Structure 1
Amino acid sequence: MNDESPSFVWPVRIYYEDTDSGGVVYYANYLKFMERARTEWLRSLGFEQDLLLQQDGIIFAVRHVEVGYHQPARFNDLLEIHVRLAKRGRASLTLYQEVVKASDSQLLCRGNVKIACVDMKTMSPTPIPKKILMEIPDVD
């Protein structure tokens, strides 16, 4: 993980339900793990997504995802899901995420996820509220 901005880390344990018939984590579940980590990252900054919807009328929706898979995770592995802000736009955030095995820091999956701030009434992009931008460091 690059050290350009601080990294947030969220732990995930692998359960049977996360694996496929081959006994490895089903590829789409990595996206779920990344989603949970982004939610927890926002929570760590003081923002609950349900309250953002209720109070500000906004949601963060995934606009674009690029994912690379490197090694499989297996049942009972403890993973660390890293979240780091890569780019901050007026109405979007691009986050660099890595999924690593906690026991040896082996890279399992990495991705760039662009999330857009969306006005739920119009379903169109809207500027990220200033209260959020004040808590998220700008990156060059």
Structure 2
Amino acid sequence: MARSDFTFSFPFRIRYSEVDGQRVVFNAHYLTYFDTAITEFLRSRDIGYNEHFSPDTFDFHLVKATVEYKRPIRFDDEIDVWVRIGAAGRSSVTFAIEIHPRGEDALLSTGDIIWVYTDMTTGRSSPVPGWFLERMGWQPA
């Protein structure tokens, strides 16, 4: 994927508490960056999570998370986490994610986050609402 395939990014500056003994970002923090960027992506599309999803009716469940580490990210680096919808199925949405140094094309990490839309009263998957995919700018190929 090229950075030009994305229209949304969220910036981070790496804090000391996020790095390990080698001053490289500890692996689990990548998922925090992904989750924060997805939340901000939703906000940018006027989808307030608390307003649209509920543990009593319908909500998304994370079913898969993948991270590929391409190059180390170090303390005090400035990065942009790019997010877009990579795929959508009947009941699932896959977020494609890339991390780049701020304003640069070099690829530091890639990942996918898969959510399944769930009827919280039955615990079963449910069709992703059309309004959600529309607001997210999903265009099937």
How far does the alpha carbon of each residue in 1:61-119 deviate from its partner, in whole angstroms, 9 at most, with x for none?
Answer: 22122221011111111110011211111211112110111154321110122111122
Greater shift in the superposed pair: 50-59 or 110-119: 50-59
Distance 1:16 1:103 in 2: 22
Q: Is the 8 A contact 1:23 1:74 kept in 2?
A: yes
Deviation of 1:124 (Å): 2.1
3-state SS, counterpart of residue 80 of structure 2: strand
| TM-score, normalised with respect to structure 2 | 0.87
Q: Across the two proteins, how many residue pairs are aligned to each other?
A: 140
**Superposition CA RMSD, Å:** 2.2
Structure 1 residue runs of 4+, over 6 Å off? none
Deviation of 1:18 (Å): 0.8
Matched AA of 2:124: S
Deviation of 1:59 (Å): 2.1
Deviation of 1:6 (Å): 4.2
User: Is 1:33 aligned with 2:67?
Assistant: no
Between the aligned residues of both structures, percent identity stands at 30
In structure 2, the gaps of 5 or more residues are none
Q: 1:128 to 1:4 in 2, by over 3 A?
A: farther
In structure 1, the gaps of 5 or more residues are none
- In the other structure, the counterpart of 1:82 is 82
Written as runs of structure 1 = structure 2, the 5 A alignment for 1:1-140 is 1-2=1-2, 6-54=6-54, 57-102=57-102, 104-136=104-136, 137-140=138-141
Q: 1:72 to 1:3 in 2, by over 3 A?
A: closer
Q: 1:54 to 1:61 in 2, by over 3 A?
A: closer
